[in-house]
Amino acid sequence: MRLTTLLTLAVFGLALTATRTTAQVDVSYTCNATPTGHAEWPAGNPLWTFDFVNAPQSSGANGSGLEIRNAFYNGHQVFNVAHVPILNVEYDGSGCSCFRDWFDQEAGYATDGVQSGSCVAIATPGVVETTCDSNEAGGSGGDPGSFTGTAFEDFGDELVLTSNQQAGWYRYRVKWHFYADGRIWPEFSFSAASATCTSQTHRHHAYWRFDFDLDGADGDVVREINPMLGTETTFTSEDVRTWGNPADGIFWDIVDETSGFGYQIVPSSSDLMLPIDSFSKLDAAVAVYDPTEIEDGATILSQCPINLDTEPTYDGQDPIINNEPLAGQDIVFWYRSSANHQGGNPWECDIVGPTLNPISAVA
Summarised one tens digit per residue, pLDDT across range 85-121 is 999 999 997 789 999 999 999 999 999 999 988 899 9
pLDDT of residue 121: 97
pLDDT of residue 138: 84
Arithmetic mean of pLDDT, 319-346: 94
Arithmetic mean of pLDDT, 36-46: 96
| pLDDT tens, residue by residue, 252-308 | 999 999 999 999 999 999 999 999 999 999 999 999 999 999 999 999 999 999 999
Higher pLDDT: 7 or 76? It is 76
Tell me if residue 9 falls in helix, strand or coil: helix
pLDDT of residue 23: 46
Do residues 9 and 17 lie in contact, with contact meaning Cβ atoms separated by under 8 Å?
A: no
Does the predicted model carry a pTM greater than 0.85? yes
Tell me if residue 26 falls in helix, strand or coil: strand
pLDDT of residue 163: 98
CA separation, residue 159 to residues 31, 47, 124, 128, 349 (Å): 21, 11, 12, 13, 22
Arithmetic mean of pLDDT, 335-357: 93
pLDDT of residue 1: 31
Do residues 117 and 29 lie in contact, with contact meaning Cβ atoms separated by under 8 Å?
A: yes
Residue 316 has pLDDT above 60, yes or no: yes
Residue 190 has pLDDT above 80, yes or no: yes
Arithmetic mean of pLDDT, 128-144: 90
DSSP letters of 290-349? -TT-SS----STT--S--SSSSS-TTSSPPS-S--B-TT--EEEEEEEEEEE-TT-TT--
For the chain, the farthest-separated pair of C-alpha atoms sits apart, in whole angstroms, at 62
Hey, what amino acid is at 175? Answer: K
Arithmetic mean of pLDDT, 124-146: 91
- Angle, CA of 127, 130 and 134, to the nearest 5°: 90
Give, as one character, the DSSP assignment of residue 11: G
List, in order, residues 6 or more apart from 115 with CB less than 8 Å away: 18, 20, 27, 29, 121, 122
Confidence grade of residue 205 (pLDDT, cut at 50, 70, 90):
very high
